[in-house]
Every structure is written in structure tokens, then in C-alpha cells.
């Protein structure tokens, strides 16, 4: 019999209680928008202030729903992969998959997204499970940074949008380089496991692996149970991140931000900020960046590279994997490397976007 090893959960914190109330709060917000809209139809118009509130709520709701709907399929895929790894593989098998040499291990992690196109939302639970089962931290970090861009679906969409030019090769070259270097830097920590959020890892759903004794369908059913557990666990962070991203996009409109982005350096900074605010799927970001292709090529690359690695919705999910300090160092390293690489391209690759 496969016995459950789910760790007992501690009393929820204030943040935990808030996360549990998120579905109610979001539903109330959407209902308020619908009521205002119906009132406007019934009364043949609303006052100007009510119209402004309705427009803002409608804009916010559409942004929030688009972010969540785009991310949910990839989160499901990543949670499914996590469940399959937990049930079907022993820790010693997972450890044997990856090289012992830190730099090579980080490089291997950067390439994993090509074989598992789970996107930014799905790569987080998948890489967390690999690290929990014994994979090097450098591999997990490199995977979750590179996987959103370095997978066949995103490669095809970027090629369709920009062709085999500077943006196409620059996106995947920079992503591979940055993800590998960041993973390798974290491997230099004397105790890499201390970089992980041990409380969150202890609460992960775990089951004994008895693959050679239990029927395939019994093990598959356990994997699906883990899928459900991880989907709702990670989904709370996704919803919170999507709410914050939609709120910031409602407050800070894109045209106002783009007006600030002039020059080879400032344009990169603005496009990085825009990529964080938009929190779009890495599959769609190429077509969103395409209208901006007349600007500095490094700025377009900054939007594609940084946005696929870190955005608001993914950062909230990362708190279920890493400590706050680890996430801060990770964001700083990715930001610094993206700035250096894309500003360099602005000065030496200008005018050759396609």
C-alpha cells in the first residue's frame, strides 16, 4: 500500500488566510463590475464617476483573467510532471540524471525546458520537485529561469514573429547564458539547500515510491492526487501575482511608460519594467514585442529575456520554493546580466533587429 507522507501543516499565517480569501475577493470584484454594468443599462446611463469606475473595473478584470487563463494550462502540466516524478522515481534515480560538476549541472538545467515545455508557471513546481528529490539546486534554478523561453513552442513563436535574426538568436543565447550563470553562482553557496524554503518543502505532498510492487494505475492515481494538491498550492500564488500585475497595469498604463524609454540604456530599463508589469506568457510575448521592433534591439531583447524569467506572477510562486533572500539575489543577478547584455547589443547591434 502506498502511504501518504504529507507533512502536517502549521497554523496559517495572516498571508495564508488572505490567500484563502482571494477567490471570494476576486468574485466580489467581478460581481461588482457586472452590477454596475447592469445598472447602467437599466438606468440608461451612469454618472461620469460611475462610468469611470466601471471602465477601470472592466479593464482590471480582463487583465486579471487573461493572465490567469494563459498560465493555468502550464501550471497543470508542471504539477502533473511533479506528481509523476514523485511517484515513479526514487531520489537516487533523480540524482543520477544530472552531472556532478556545478557548471555542467546548471547548463543541463537550462536545457531541460526544451524537453518539458511547461512555461514559467509550470517550470516552478517541476523544478521544485526535482530539487526536493535530490537534483542540484543549480539545476533547478537554471531550469526555472530558462524553461519559459527555451522550449519548442516559444522558439517557434519567436521565429514566426522576428525571423532568424538578432532578436531570435539573442533571446535564446542570452537566456541560456544568464540561466546557466545564475544557477552556477548559486551552486557556490557552501550549503545550497539552505537557499530553499524548507517550510514550504516540508509541506509538499509526498508519497512512498513502490513502483515495483504497485500496479501502474494505482501509482498514476497518486500522481494525479499530487497534481491537485500542487495546483491549488501554487495556484494561490499565481492568483495573487495576477491580481498585483493587473492592478499595476491598471494604474500604470503602457503608453506613459513607453514615453520614458529613450536612449540605449533607459529604453532597456523601461522595457524590463514593462515586461514585469505585463506578466504575459512567454508564448505570446514575441507578438507583443513585435510592434516595438522599431526601437532599440536591446530593449526588445530585454522585454523578451527578463520577462520570461521573472515577472510578478512568477515571483509570488517562487516564495513556495526559495527564501526571500534567495529570490532577491536571483532577481538582482538576472536584472544585472540582462542590463549588461542588452545595453551592449544596443550599442553594437543597433539597426539589425530582424
3-class SS of residue 281: coil
- CB of 266 within 8 A of CB of 274? no
pLDDT, mean of residues 247-264: 70
Give the residue, 112 or 179, on which the prediction is more confident: 179
Band (294; pLDDT cuts 50, 70, 90): low
**Residue 212 CA: distances (Å) to CA of 207, 209, 222, 332:** 14, 9, 15, 45
Nearest to 287, CA basis, from 300, 276, 296, 277: 300
Q: What percent of the chain has pLDDT over 70?
A: 76
pLDDT, mean of residues 237-258: 76
Band (9; pLDDT cuts 50, 70, 90): very low
Quote the pLDDT of residue 184: 93
Cell 510578478 appears where?
312
Nearest to 136, CA basis, from 172, 102, 171: 102
**Residue 253 CA: distances (Å) to CA of 20, 238, 296, 306:** 29, 22, 21, 20
**Is the pLDDT confidence value at 194 over 70?**
yes
Quote the pLDDT of residue 353: 53
What the block records as the C-alpha cell of 186 is 548559486
Quote the pLDDT of residue 178: 95
Q: What is the largest CA-CA distance in the chain?
A: 70
CA angle at residue 149 from 144 to 153, to 5 degrees?
120
Give the residue, 328 or 276, on which the prediction is more confident: 328
Q: What percent of the chain has pLDDT over 90?
A: 12
Cα–Cα dist 243/228, whole Å: 22
Boundaries of every domain in the chain: 69-348
Cα–Cα dist 122/278, whole Å: 18
Cα–Cα dist 126/132, whole Å: 10
**Residue 224 CA: distances (Å) to CA of 67, 90, 161, 200:** 25, 18, 36, 20
Strand partners, 4: 207
* Of 48-62, 178-192, 274-288, the least confident: 48-62
What the block records as the C-alpha cell of 204 is 509538499
Whole-number mean pLDDT of the chain?
A: 78
Quote the pLDDT of residue 253: 66
Highest mean pLDDT of the ranges 209-223, 226-240, 252-266:
226-240
* Ramachandran area for residue 189 (φ above 0: left; ψ -120 to 50: alpha; else beta): beta
Q: What is the CA radius of gyration of the chain?
A: 22
pLDDT, mean of residues 106-114: 87
Digit-coded pLDDT (tens) for 300-335: 899 899 988 888 888 888 888 898 999 999 999 999
3-class SS of residue 152: helix
Amino acid at each position: 500500500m502506498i502511504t501518504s507522507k504529507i507533512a502536517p501543516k502549521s497554523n496559517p499565517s495572516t498571508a495564508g488566510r488572505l490567500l484563502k480569501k482571494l477567490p471570494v475577493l476576486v468574485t466580489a470584484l467581478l460581481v461588482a463590475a457586472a452590477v454596475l454594468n447592469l445598472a447602467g443599462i437599466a438606468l440608461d446611463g451612469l454618472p461620469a464617476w460611475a462610468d469611470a469606475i466601471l471602465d477601470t473595473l472592466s479593464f482590471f478584470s480582463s487583465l486579471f483573467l487573461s493572465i490567469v487563463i494563459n498560465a493555468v494550462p502550464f501550471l497543470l502540466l508542471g504539477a502533473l510532471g511533479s506528481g509523476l516524478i514523485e511517484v515513479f522515481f526514487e531520489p537516487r534515480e533523480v540524482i543520477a540524471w544530472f552531472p556532478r560538476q556545478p557548471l555542467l549541472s546548471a547548463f543541463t538545467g537550462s536545457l531541460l525546458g526544451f524537453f518539458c515545455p511547461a512555461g514559467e508557471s509550470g517550470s516552478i513546481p517541476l523544478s521544485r520537485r526535482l530539487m526536493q528529490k535530490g537534483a542540484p539546486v543549480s539545476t533547478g534554478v537554471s531550469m526555472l529561469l530558462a524553461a519559459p523561453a527555451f522550449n519548442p513552442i516559444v522558439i517557434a513563436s519567436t521565429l514566426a514573429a522576428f525571423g532568424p535574426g538578432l532578436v531570435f538568436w539573442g533571446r535564446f543565447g542570452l537566456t541560456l547564458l544568464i540561466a546557466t550563470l545564475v544557477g552556477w553562482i548559486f551552486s557556490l553557496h557552501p550549503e545550497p539547500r539552505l537557499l530553499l524554503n524548507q517550510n514550504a518543502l516540508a509541506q509538499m505532498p509526498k508519497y512512498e515510491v513502490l513502483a515495483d510492487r504497485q500496479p501502474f494505475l494505482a501509482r498514476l492515481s497518486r500522481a494525479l492526487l499530487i497534481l491537485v494538491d500542487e495546483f491549488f498550492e501554487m495556484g494561490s500564488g499565481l492568483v495573487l501575482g495576477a491580481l498585483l500585475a493587473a492592478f499595476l497595469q491598471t494604474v500604470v498604463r503602457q503608453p506613459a511608460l513607453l514615453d520614458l524609454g529613450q536612449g540605449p540604456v533607459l529604453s532597456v530599463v523601461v522595457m524590463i519594467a514593462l515586461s514585469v508589469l505585463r506578466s504575459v506568457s512567454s508564448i505570446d510575448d514575441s507578438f507583443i514585442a513585435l510592434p516595438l521592433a522599431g526601437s532599440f534591439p536591446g530593449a526588445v531583447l530585454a522585454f523578451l529575456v527578463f520577462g520570461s524569467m521573472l515577472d510578478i506572477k512568477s515571483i509570488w510562486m517562487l516564495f513556495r520554493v526559495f527564501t526571500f533572500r534567495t529570490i532577491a539575489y536571483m532577481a538582482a543577478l538576472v536584472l544585472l546580466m540582462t542590463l549588461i547584455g542588452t545595453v551592449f547589443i544596443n550599442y553594437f547591434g543597433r539597426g539589425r533587429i530582424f
